Amino acid sequence: MASISPARRALAHAPWSPAAWRDTTFVASGVPLQFAGWVVLCSVWPFWAPVNLTQILLVLAASCALTLLALRPLTRWQRERCWAMLGLHIPPMPGFDEERAWRVLRGLRRPEVWRVLRYHLVVGPMLAFGGLAAIAAWAGGAILASSGAYTWALPGTSPLSSVDKAHAVRVGILSVVGVLLLIAAPWVAAGVRSLDARAAAALLGPDRAAELERQVEDLAEKRASVVDAADLERRRIERDLHDGAQQRLVSLALNLGLARETLTGVPDDAMRVIVEAHEEAKEALTELRNLIRGLHPAVLEDLGLDAALSGVAARVPLEVRLRVQVEPRASSTVEAVAYFVVSEALTNVVKHAKATAVDVAVIREGERLRVTVADDGVGGADPAGGTGLTGLGRRVRSVDGTFRITSPAGGPTTITVELPCAL
């Protein structure tokens, strides 16, 4: 953003500029509202002069109760003033504006009430004095700057009377001081306006930190819902493929195998077509089973991580030392992530590591599930190298897990994943 030159900045704060009058009007209108908190707090004392400790405590209690009851209308008027004069929208605070007025009396434990009190009893009055200073600068500047126009009407005994020529220098000095005050008044009003707008937004609106925390929690809940929905969708697709397309392929492969074994007197070309169709059906069935297993293995949902990972380890053409301790079981989403971490890691070991053995440990430690996959391969695994590690880390982080890989050149490679079980 281009910076504003000093000349343009000075022109924008000239006494005749619209901004100067807007700022002055804003700070002047805030003076009675910003003193209103103390007016309400002290309103009981002129009507009741306590004479003993009990009466003093009663007056204090009544004053505090009236102040608390006045917080919501005072806050609403301040917000409307900011919107009407500055276009500054200050949204309402949950837990303060949404409840009935009398419940504010019981809300002293809430930080929102104390923030509003801080504005109306501390920050607001200080800003009101700033507004009075801006008004005094305008009024004093106007009176002093125009002093040369009315000194002729003063009595001759006045030290500023134009009859006394010896005091003309004083009139000139006062006129210069008045002009300087008129020049300074818009800057004073602008400073008070800026401080007031920031204070009102910070103390009369939702707490920024609490709002960000709520947004983070909301986003975390939505992300968890999306992850769970994706997992449910994978399981639905797995069931549909298992109960539909896989069964049809099994039936097709059985019929072709039966035809291959029982048909006689079939021309060689026809038999070759039957044999090729049978082999293609078996390969398609194998690929479909691998696809179903990659979506969401049924054994994982039925028997848990121990049985599912045992099946994965059995299919790996390496020595796999597996250790699984996951009691009590984690959520299905976390179990699915742990399963795919081990499965993908073992696939990478077979393809790239040139290892002879792999150690796999899946251990639940309180509310964390730790997954460790270590091989004795050549190392040098890089998540940016297109080995699937990037997608693996993304899948782990989708459930607020941590993903770490240690793979120096020459090996060994160790993948460590920690997953939260409280999901």
Instruction: Give 228's pLDDT tier (boundaries 50, 70, 90).
Output: low
Who's near 234: CB < 8 A, 6+ residues apart? 295, 296, 336
Integer angstrom CA distances of residue 81 from 90, 131, 189: 10, 14, 16
The domain limits of the chain are: 6-206, 210-295, 300-420
- Least reliable range by pLDDT among 56-70, 163-177, 189-203, 344-358: 163-177
pLDDT, average across residues 195-220: 78
Nearest to 127 by CA among 61, 173, 191, 192: 192
Q: What pLDDT, on a 0 to 100 scale, did the predictor assign at position 129? A: 92
pLDDT score of 396 more than 60: yes
Distance between first and last Cα of the chain: 45
pLDDT, average across residues 15-44: 85
For the question of whether the overall pTM of this predicted structure is more than 0.75, the answer is no
Query: pLDDT tens digit string along 123-164?
Result: 889 999 988 998 998 888 888 777 766 665 555 556 555 555
Query: pLDDT tens digit string along 278-297?
Result: 888 878 877 777 666 665 66
Q: What pLDDT, on a 0 to 100 scale, did the predictor assign at position 1? A: 40
| 229 burial via Cβ count (<10 Å: 0-12, 13-18, 19+) | exposed
pLDDT score of 306 more than 80: yes
Determine the Cα angle at 20 with ends 16 and 21, to 5°: 85
Q: What pLDDT, on a 0 to 100 scale, did the predictor assign at position 30? A: 87
- Greatest mean pLDDT among 178-182, 233-237, 378-382 lies in 178-182
pLDDT score of 216 more than 80: no
Q: What pLDDT, on a 0 to 100 scale, did the predictor assign at position 2? A: 46
Q: What pLDDT, on a 0 to 100 scale, did the predictor assign at position 126? A: 92
Burial 97-125 (b: 16+ CB within 10 A, else e): beeeeeebeebeeeebbebbbebbbebbb
pLDDT score of 46 more than 70: yes
Assigned CATH topology for domain 300-420: Heat Shock Protein 90 (3.30.565)
